[in-house]
Amino acid sequence: MRTTQRLLREPLVHFLGIGGLIFLLYVAVSDPVAAPVNTIVIGPEQIEQLAKSYQATWRRPPSAEELDRIIDEAVREEVYYREALALGLDSNDTIVRRRLRQKMEFLADSGAALVEPAPGELEAYLRANEERFRRSPLLAFEQIFLGQDTAPGRSEEILTMLRSNRVEDPSSLSSSTLLPQQLGLSSPQTVDGVFGQGFFEQLFELPRGRWAGPLESAYGVHLARIDERVEAHLPALAEIRETVLRDWKAMKAQQIRELYYARLRANYVVEIVRAQNQDPAIQ
């Protein structure tokens, strides 16, 4: 009993039932000998198209016999296609619906691809989205390595010597190390990649052009002198125009898609009817 009830509620059963009825109706009312009312024309262009797509798959043109068969197939497809539309079979098919939706979105997107920023628009976009385009700070520095750990007072002693300007080659005070003694302008990622996490941050606190420290790396204790520093900054538009443009276009495409949808949506009154006591969360 329950099974029958459930079956009666099953959309597939409805579908088969209605389909069956339509079919019976059709057989009953149609006159098998009457002349067909619909015309299907397969023209030369379409035939060429069919031959081409065959060739794309099989790497050779179809034989005459094969071509006939492809044309027959195309006719068959067309007949089924029209009949399916007539029966409304497209209306409840997830995949057909998704494909059509995709095509609509393509329409909107292809429109968006053509949009170019008005004068001043990119500049404004850059200003409004500073965080996204900001460049990380850079440091160029020289360092000497004092070993894994140092005796108390040792680093101050060396620092005094360095600051006195009597040391011709600071690296002579360094413990032997394979760490680079100088780095040209480098990002936090580079510096920390070489010296270990957090080294850039310590360096960044140092004054420019003066030996300072001690600092601690993944390897031990260092003194360093900053030679050049570039603060985190927002580059001029000219410098990063390409990147900003790409970003702006992506944003614009999204906007246009939404606008396009909103415009279409405005043509509809949507009613959402919930059953009584229906929990909105399960919608």
Partner 1 sequence: MNNLPYRAILAALLFIALPVVAQDAGTPTSESLADAYTGKSYSPYAQRNFPERPLWGDTHLHTSLSMDAGLFGNRLPPTEAYRFARGEEVVSSTGLPVRLSRPLDWLVVADHSDGMGFIGDIATGKPELLAYEQSARWIEGMQKGGEAGVAAALDLITTFSNDKMNPEMLANYMPGSKLYKNIWEKVIADAETFNEPGRFTALIGFEWTSLIQGNNMHRVVIMRDGAVRARQVVPFTMTAPQGSPDPRDLWKYMTNYENKTNGEILAIAHNGNLSNGIMFPLEAQWNGKKLDKTYISERSKWEPLYEATQIKGDGEAHPYLSPEDEFADYETWDIGNLDVSAAKTNDMLAGEYAREALKRGLAIEGKQGINPYKFGMIGSTDSHTSLATAEEDNFFGKHTGYEPKPGRLDHPFMKNENGSIMGWQMVASGLAAVWATENTREAIFDAMQRKEVYATTGPRMSVRMFGGWDFTEQDLNSRMPAVIGYSKGSPMGGDLRTMPAGAKAPSFMVYALRDPIGANLDRIQIIKGWLDGKGNIHEQIYDVAWSGDRVADANGKLPAVGNTVDVANANWTNSIGAPELATVWTDPSFDPAQKAFYYTRVIEIPTPRWSTYDAFRFGIELPEGVPATTQERAYSSPIWYTPKT
Residues lying near partner 1 in the complex (CB under 8 A): 56-57, 59, 94-96, 98-99, 102, 140, 142, 148, 169, 171, 176-184, 187, 189-190, 192-197, 217-220, 227, 246
CA atoms of 10 and 128, how far apart (whole Å): 54
Closest CB 192 distance from partner 1, rounded Å: 7
Angle at 47 between CA 43 and CA 50, to 5 degrees: 140
User: Which of 73/156 has CB closer to partner 1?
Assistant: 73
- Nearest residue (CB) to partner 1, 97 versus 274: 97
Q: Please, which residue, 155 or 181, has the CB nearer to partner 1?
A: 181
Which of residues 24 and 232 has its CB atom nearest to partner 1 in the complex? 232
| Residue 71 beta carbon to partner 1: minimum distance, rounded to whole angstroms | 17
In whole angstroms, the minimum distance from the beta carbon of 36 to partner 1 comes to 26
C-alpha 208/C-alpha 229 separation (Å) is: 8
Strand intervals (E) in the chain: 138-147, 182-186, 211-216, 221-230
With 0-12 / 13-18 / 19 or more C-beta atoms within 10 angstroms meaning exposed / middle / buried, residue 158 is: buried
Closest approach of Cβ 13 to partner 1, in Å? Answer: 17
Residue 243 vs 278, nearer CB to partner 1: 243
- Between strands 221-230 and 211-216, the pairing is antiparallel
| Nearest partner of 46 among 78, 24, 91, 82, judged by Cα | 78
Min dist. Cβ of residue 273 to partner 1 (A): 26
Q: Which is nearer to partner 1, 109 or 142 (CB)?
A: 142
Dist CA 283 CA 271 (whole Å)? 14
Which residue, 124, 143, 235, 152, is CA-closest to 182? 143
Q: Which is nearer to partner 1, 98 or 163 (CB)?
A: 98
The 3-state DSSP class for residue 221 equals strand
Strand partners, 216: 221
Least Cβ distance, residue 182 to partner 1 (angstroms): 5
Assigned token pair, 255: 């906007």
Q: Would you say 208 and 216 are in contact if contact means Cβ atoms under 8 Å apart?
A: no
Q: How far is the CB of 238 from partner 1 (least distance, A)?
A: 17
Residue whose entry in the numeric block shows the structure tokens 């027959």: 72
- Would you state the structure tokens that stand for residue 89, as one six-digit string? 């079979």
